[in-house]
Chain A
Amino acid sequence: MKYLDEYRDAGLSRKLLDGIRSLVTRPWVLMEVCGGQTHGIVRHGIDQLLPPEVELVHGPGCPVCVTPVRMIDRAHAIAGRSDVIFCSFGDMLRVPGSESDLLTLKSRGAAIRVVYSPLDCLRIARENPEREVVFFAIGFETTAPANAILAWQAREQGLTNLSLLVAHVRVPPAMVSILESPDNRVQGFLGPGHVCTVVGYEEYEPLAARHRVPVVITGFEPVDLLQGILLVLRQLEEGRSEVENQYPRVVRREGNIVARQWIDRVFEECDREWRGAGWIAGSGYRLRPGFEAHDAEKRFDLSGVISAAPGPCLSGQILQGAKKPHDCPAFGHACTPEHPLGPTMVSSEGACAAYYLCGRHRDSRRP
Chain B
Amino acid sequence: MCLAIPGRILEIRGTDPLSRTGLVSFGGAVKEIHLVCTPGARALDYILVHAGLSLAVIDPAEASRLLETLGSPEQEHD
| B53 adjacent to chain A (CB < 8 Å) | yes
Cβ-defined contact, A192 with B2, below 8 A: yes
Complex alpha-carbon distance, A149 and B37, angstroms: 10
Given A227-B66, A256-B56, A258-B37, A140 and B1 touching (CB < 8 A)? yes
Interface of B is mostly: mixed
Cβ-defined contact, A4 with B6, below 8 A: yes
Interchain CB contact (< 8 A) of A230 among B27, B60, B77: B77
With a cutoff of 8 Å between Cβ atoms, the chain B residues found around residue A138 in the complex are 1
| A34 adjacent to chain B (CB < 8 Å) | yes
Q: How large is the interface on B (under 10, 10 to 19, 20 to 34, 35 or more residues)?
A: 35 or more
Complex alpha-carbon distance, A227 and B70, angstroms: 9
Q: Tell me which of A112-120, A182-190, A273-281, A315-323 binds B.
A: A112-120
Shortest Cβ distance from residue A45 to the other chain B in the assembled complex, whole angstroms: 20
| A328 adjacent to chain B (CB < 8 Å) | no
| A91 adjacent to chain B (CB < 8 Å) | yes
Cβ-defined contact, A118 with B52, below 8 A: yes
Within 8 A of B (CB), among A205-234: 220, 223, 227, 230, 234
Interface string of B24-53 (1 = CB under 8 A from A): 001100000010111100000010101111
With a cutoff of 8 Å between Cβ atoms, the chain A residues found around residue B37 in the complex are 145, 256, 258-259, 262
Residue of B nearest to A118 (CB): B51
Complex alpha-carbon distance, A347 and B56, angstroms: 25
With a cutoff of 8 Å between Cβ atoms, the chain B residues found around residue A15 in the complex are 70, 76
With a cutoff of 8 Å between Cβ atoms, the chain A residues found around residue B59 in the complex are 248-250
Cβ-defined contact, B58 with A146, below 8 A: no
With a cutoff of 8 Å between Cβ atoms, the chain A residues found around residue B56 in the complex are 197, 250-251, 256
Interface string of A49-68 (1 = CB under 8 A from B): 00000000000011110000
Complex alpha-carbon distance, A256 and B26, angstroms: 22
Cβ-defined contact, B34 with A119, below 8 A: yes
B residues in contact (CB < 8 Å) with A: 1-6, 8, 18, 26-27, 34, 36-39, 46, 48, 50-53, 55-56, 58-60, 62-63, 65-67, 70-71, 76-77
Pairs of residues from A and B, 6 with the lowest C-beta to C-beta distance, nearest first:
A117-B52, A3-B6, A249-B63, A250-B56, A1-B27, A259-B37
Residue pairs across A and B with Cβ atoms less than 8 A apart, 15 shown, are A2-B6, A3-B58, A35-B1, A36-B3, A89-B1, A89-B51, A139-B1, A142-B1, A142-B50, A146-B34, A194-B4, A223-B66, A249-B58, A250-B56, A256-B37
